[in-house]
Each structure stands twice: as C-alpha cells, then as structure tokens.
Amino acid sequence: MISLGLVGLGKIARDQHLPAIARSADFTLCAVASRNARADGVPAYPDLDALLAREQAVEAVVLCQPPQVRHAAARAAMAAGRHVFLEKPPGATLSEVEDLVEAAGRAGVTLFASWHSRFAAGVEPARSWLAGRRIEGITIEWKEDVRQWHPGQDWIWQPGGLGVFDPGINALSILTRLLPGTIRLEDAELQFPANRQAPIAARLQMRVANGTPVEAEFDWRQTGRQSWNITIHTDAGALLLADGGNSLFVEGAAQALPGESEYPAMYDHFAALIAERRSDVDASPLRLVADAFLIGRRSFTEAFHD
C-alpha cells in the first residue's frame, strides 16, 4: 500500500477522491492538509509544508486545490521526493506545467496530470469504434448550471480559474484522447460577465490536422437538463458520447458500458505509473484553452451573482 496525503479538502476531494481512495487496493489515506477542513480518522494539517515535514511515511500526494495554487504545492511535494497526482487542469499556465514536468524528472518521482473525463466509461470504446473510420465533423455541446456545480466558488471566476473552461476542458480532454495528432484552434468567442475575470460562455472552432472541423459550445447558464455531449459524424454514421463520456450511442443505439468509475480508474493508473516509474502529463487540452484566451474575441454580458 502506498501512503497518500490529500491537499485541499473541498468538493471534488469529498465527492470523488475520498471514496475512491477508500476503495483502492493500492493507496491508504494517511493525512490531509486543508486550511478549513479535516477528514475523520487521519491527522490534519493547515498546509502541505506542515504535512510533508511531519508525515515522513507519506510517499505520494493528491492535490485537489484550485489550479492557481497547485504549482507551488506540486513543486514542494516533488522536491521532498513525493509522487504527485494533480487534479485537472494541470496548471494555471502552460509554462508552469512544463516546469513541473522538468521538476518531476529531476526528483525522479511520478507526476500524474489527471483528466478524469478521459476515464469515463464510453471514451475507450468510442476510440476503438472510431479507429479505421473517416471522421467528417465533430460538435461539442457542454452546457451546465454553474450555480448547481460550483456553488459559492470564487476561484473559478478569478484569473487562472478558467471560468466556463473549467468544465469545458473536460470535453477537450476527451477530444484530444479520441483524435490522434494536433488539433488547431482557428477561432473563438468568449463572453465575460461584466463583474468577472473569467468567461461564462465560449464558442470554439477547431480543425484536426487532416482538415476535419470541430465546433464546441460551452455555456454555464443552462438550467434544467444539462448537456455534456460530443457528436462525431463519420462515414459509418454518427457516434454520440453523452453524459460527459459515460454514455455511448452509435446511430442512436445505446451501447452497453461498465458503470461510471472515473476516479477509481485514475487511482489504479496512478499506482501503475508509480510502479513503472513513469509520469503522465498531457497539456494539449490546456493548450487549446490558452489559445482561446489568446485569439478569442471578447464580449461582455450581464453581471453574474451567486
């Protein structure tokens, strides 16, 4: 068993990481570092430095804080010889992700920059089905209610918090897993609430190296039914990945899939990476988001209040 420390005991840590660690055959939770929260049955520290200093047996840490503060924590953990599992996105900037890759190499530890949506049940079956078929076009619709999924979170609206790209990057992580080769951003429109530093809606036009067009629409103002869909038109019909990748339809027919287990699968992968002394870092979804901030036309919409 690998002794694990968890940092940033917020929504995703409670909803997904703690249950997945409890089920894991490879990891034992030994300590938590969080400024305002503690988990039952394990020592609590106010920050990572205190945890690292006192918990010499901890071999790996999972970082579940907002992206703006994860780089410094990942650096400190790796310099102290610990393996690191990063929540998505892997950083607030591309250059800090590159810096972490170099730091992991220097320290000889595993760095796993996770993309949980890549572990959704339909993604690998979709990838297999698409192999050998000609893809003619892709549309992505990722629309959810920010008040339901990010209640009271301020960091998502701050610089580096990504705004609607915080969920939208999950779609891009699936897209970049399904399609080999470079996907290029051609055009983007971003809508910012008048009182916020991050967009509430975005539209992207991308193109795969072979010319296939990809259109994506992200919106955080959707109430009622939520949409996390990727539709792929091919020479053999349309494939729909729905429910964030956890449902799969081919020409409208539902495909049998195992149940949703994104986080347990990520802990299995992290254990395998540590055993193989490898890292897994792919910044391509974050690069598309960075490009949208670079060339996207900006417009301003009504102020957002929680």
Which residues are catalytic, by number? 88
Q: Locate 168 and state its tokens.
A: 């939208």
Q: Are 103 and 192 in contact (CB under 8 A)?
A: no
| Residue 217: partners with Cβ closer than 8 Å, 6 or more residues away | 139, 140, 141, 142, 143, 201, 202, 203
Residue nearest to ligand NAP (CB): 10
| Distance, first Cα to last Cα, the chain | 42
- DSSP letter string, 162-197: -TTHHHHHHHHHHHHHHS-S-EEEEEEEEEEETT-S
Nearer to ligand NAP, 24 or 65 (CB): 65
Nearer to ligand NAP, 16 or 28 (CB): 16
In the complex, what is the shortest distance from the CB of residue 46 to ligand NAP, in angstroms, rounded to a whole number?
A: 8
Question: Is residue 301 part of the contact set for ligand NAP (CB under 6 A)?
Answer: no
Interface size with ligand NAP, residues (CB under 6 A): 22
In the complex, what is the shortest distance from the CB of residue 161 to ligand NAP, in angstroms, rounded to a whole number?
A: 9
Helix (H, G, I), strand (E, B) or coil at 231: strand
In the complex, what is the shortest distance from the CB of residue 114 to ligand NAP, in angstroms, rounded to a whole number?
A: 8
Positions 27 through 86 that interact with ligand NAP (CB under 6 A)? 34-37, 64-67, 69
Positions 99 through 128 that interact with ligand NAP (CB under 6 A)? 116
Give me the phi and psi of 23, to 5 degrees please: -85, -15
Nearer to ligand NAP, 35 or 184 (CB): 35
What is the spatial distance between Cα 46 and Cα 95, in angstroms, rounded to a whole number? 28
Among 88, 118, 143, 196, interactor with ligand NAP by CB under 6 A: 88
Judging by beta carbons within 10 Å of its beta carbon (0-12, 13-18, 19+), is residue 43 exposed, middle or buried? Answer: middle
Among 8, 90, 91, 244, interactor with ligand NAP by CB under 6 A: 8
What is the spatial distance between Cα 168 and Cα 244, in angstroms, rounded to a whole number? 10
Nearer to ligand NAP, 83 or 116 (CB): 116
Among 2, 12, 50, 76, interactor with ligand NAP by CB under 6 A: 12
What is the spatial distance between Cα 283 and Cα 49, in angstroms, rounded to a whole number? 27
Question: Is residue 155 part of the contact set for ligand NAP (CB under 6 A)?
Answer: yes
In the complex, what is the shortest distance from the CB of residue 16 to ligand NAP, in angstroms, rounded to a whole number?
A: 7
In the complex, what is the shortest distance from the CB of residue 120 to ligand NAP, in angstroms, rounded to a whole number?
A: 12
Q: Which of the 8 DSSP states describes residue 72?
A: H
Positions 210 through 249 that interact with ligand NAP (CB under 6 A)? none
Among 9, 164, 171, 175, interactor with ligand NAP by CB under 6 A: 9
Binding mask 271-290 for ligand NAP (x = CB under 6 A): --------------------
Question: Is residue 18 part of the contact set for ligand NAP (CB under 6 A)?
Answer: no
- DSSP letter string, 84-139: EEEPSSS-SSHHHHHHHHHHHHHHT--EEE--GGGGSTTHHHHHHHHTTSPEEEEE
What is the spatial distance between Cα 7 and Cα 112, in angstroms, rounded to a whole number? 15
In the complex, what is the shortest distance from the CB of residue 38 to ligand NAP, in angstroms, rounded to a whole number?
A: 9
Nearer to ligand NAP, 65 or 246 (CB): 65
What is the spatial distance between Cα 229 and Cα 163, in angstroms, rounded to a whole number? 19
Which stretches of the chain bind ligand NAP, using CB under 6 A?
8-13, 34-37, 64-67, 69, 87-88, 116, 149, 153, 155, 166
